[in-house]
Structure 1
Amino acid sequence: MYIPKFNEETRVPVLDQLMRSHPLATLVTMGASGLFATHLPMVLHRVDDTHATLRGHLSRANAQWREFRPDVQALAIFSGPEHYITPNWYPEKAKTGKVVPTWNYAVVHAYGSLRIIEDPTWLLEHLNMLTNTHEASSPTPWKISDAPEGYVETIAKGIVGIELAIERLEGKWKVSQNQNEQTRASVARGLEALGDEASLAMRDLVNGER
């Protein structure tokens, strides 16, 4: 990924937070027919600053798990807050008119070796972790044990587990860092005035929050 120095984010806790708060990843692999991409939620398991894995699952009907090349690194892309930035928010527009629109965003790319896991115990543990993670904020969290006995185990026969051992992380926070303080403040005010979830999330990033 092309990352200008002022857009580079290398802090592991910041990168992890984006992967956890925006867990729907795009998994890209190389196979016999070329590049293959699947969109799926992945759970980050962090051991220490240099060791972590991403776990998920694919449908058995998805050819990606059969066709990917294990000798080529897989790539999981996590997309965080993003928003269009209008030139109308730039003070320079009124002075010289020499402004253009852009798009702000935060993304993490995780590269690593991919392995396939068909062990039923591993799959059930993964499904429990995935469910518990995303049900945690619910007033009445749904649990796998709420399903009829044996139902989830039967459903799990139609999936395979995947684990990506992270070998390299890249983070890009393109959030108006190349603008001066006055322009960044004006962009933040414009985003705040819109008042929706996406604009407020980007406002926070422009203001330097991670």
Structure 2
Amino acid sequence: MYLPQHFAESDLTEIHRIIRAHPLGMLVRTTSDGLEADHLPFLLDADQGSGGTLIAHVARANSVWKEVQDGADVLVVFRGVDGYVSPNWYPGKLETHRRVPTWNYEVVHAHGKIHVRDDEKFIRGVVARLTHKHEADQAKPWKMGDAPTDYLAEQLSRIVGIEIVLTRLECKRKLNQHRELPDREGAIEGLTSSGNQALAQAMRDTLKAGEAKNPK
């Protein structure tokens, strides 16, 4: 990934936040036919392994778990907030017209080694943890015990667990950090007005972080 220093994010807490907030990852692997990608909701276990571990499950009908070699290198891409930034939002454009459109975004490249876990205890644990996380904000959270025992057992038999032990994390937050303050504030205002509140907030956060590191 092309990663200029001013866009590089090295704070592990921030990287983990992006993964947890945007858990649908793109698993990229090498096969005999070339590169393949699968899109899976992952759960990050930051305490397992020196670099953390990603866990997920796939349909038994998905050939990914049969094709990967144990311990093979894979890449999981997590996309955070993103959006178009118009040059018209930069005050500097009115002065010099030397501004162009761009696209701001957050992305994490999680490199690791994949392991297939085709055992009922692990699979049940993955489903339980994913359910607990994503049902947490429901008025009446669904739990595995809500399903009939025989039905749940049948459903669990149709999936296979995967585990990716992370070896390297790269994070890029392209949020106008290289521009002057008026242009950064103008872009935030433009994004807010156009309805992209999430990206605008991410850019505000980088401003605050920069101010904290370099107080006046």
Interval containing the TM-score (normalised by the shorter chain) = over 0.9
Which sits farther off after the overlay, 38-47 or 63-72? 63-72
Q: Is structure 2 residue 139 aligned with structure 1 residue 103?
A: no
Counting only pairs closer than 5 Å after superposition, residues 1-210 of structure 1 correspond to structure 2 as 1-47=1-47, 50-70=50-70, 72-194=72-194, 196=195, 199-209=196-206
Shift in Å, 1:75: 0.5
How far apart, in 2, do the equivalents of 1:5 and 1:49 lie? 27
Root mean square deviation, CA, Å: 1.5
One-letter identity of the residue aligned with 1:109: H
- Taking every aligned residue pair, what percent have the same amino acid on both sides? 36
Structure 2 residues not aligned, in runs of 5+? 210-216
Contact preservation (8 Å) 2:70, 2:116: no
Which digits, 9 at most, give the CA deviation of each residue in 1:155-196, with x for residues without a partner? 1111110000000000100001111111001111111112x3
Q: For 1:35 and 1:136, locate their aligned partners in 2 and report how far apart those are by CA, in whole Å.
A: 35
8 Å contact from structure 1 (residues 75, 109) kept in 2: yes
TM superposition shift of 1:208: 2.6
Q: TM-score, normalised by structure 2?
A: 0.91
Unaligned runs of 5+ in 1: none
SS of 2:62's equivalent?
coil
Residues 116 and 162 of structure 1 are in contact (CA less than 8 Å); yes or no, is this contact kept in structure 2? yes
- Could you tell me how far 1:63 is from its partner in structure 2? 1.7
TM-score (normalizing by structure 1): 0.94
The total of aligned residue pairs comes to 207
Task: Measure, in 1, the Cα distance between the counterparts of 2:50 and 2:189.
Answer: 38
